[in-house]
Amino acid sequence: MDSTWLNAPQWAEEQWGDLDLGDVRRTRRAVSIGTAFAASPEDSLPQQCGSWGEVNAAYRLLDDEHLSHEVLSTRHWHHTRQAARSALP
């Protein structure tokens, strides 16, 4: 799939939608946070999430033992490399 033209929710789903975090709710939250990050990367987490409840949910996920910066980044880097390879002539 050509990620170049995806909107933020499609992009986040492609990046983390099939990530196994031990509970489908964690995966959905990862996609939701990724969507918020992609939609407004210049904003702070509270601005990206839009409500205090969403901010707390994001912090809970990011503090979860099943998730780490490395887990999310590794998946993202994998998709980025795939997209770069597919763009080569």
pLDDT band at 4 (very low <50, low <70, confident <90, very high): low
CA dihedral sign of residues 49, 53, 57, 59 = positive
Q: Where are the domains of the chain?
A: 3-87
pLDDT in the model for residue 69:
80
Q: H or E segment at 43?
A: none
pLDDT band at 17 (very low <50, low <70, confident <90, very high): very high
What class, spelled out in words, does domain 3-87 have in CATH? Answer: mainly alpha
Helix (H) or strand (E) holding 56: helix 52-62
Q: What is the pLDDT of residues 57-82, one digit of tens each?
A: 999 998 888 788 888 888 889 888 98
For residue 3, is pLDDT > 50?
A: no
Query: Residue 9: CA atoms inside 13 Å, Cβ hemisphere, count?
Result: 1
Please answer whether residues 17 and 31 qualify as being in contact, where contact means their C-beta atoms are separated by less than 8 angstroms.
Answer: yes
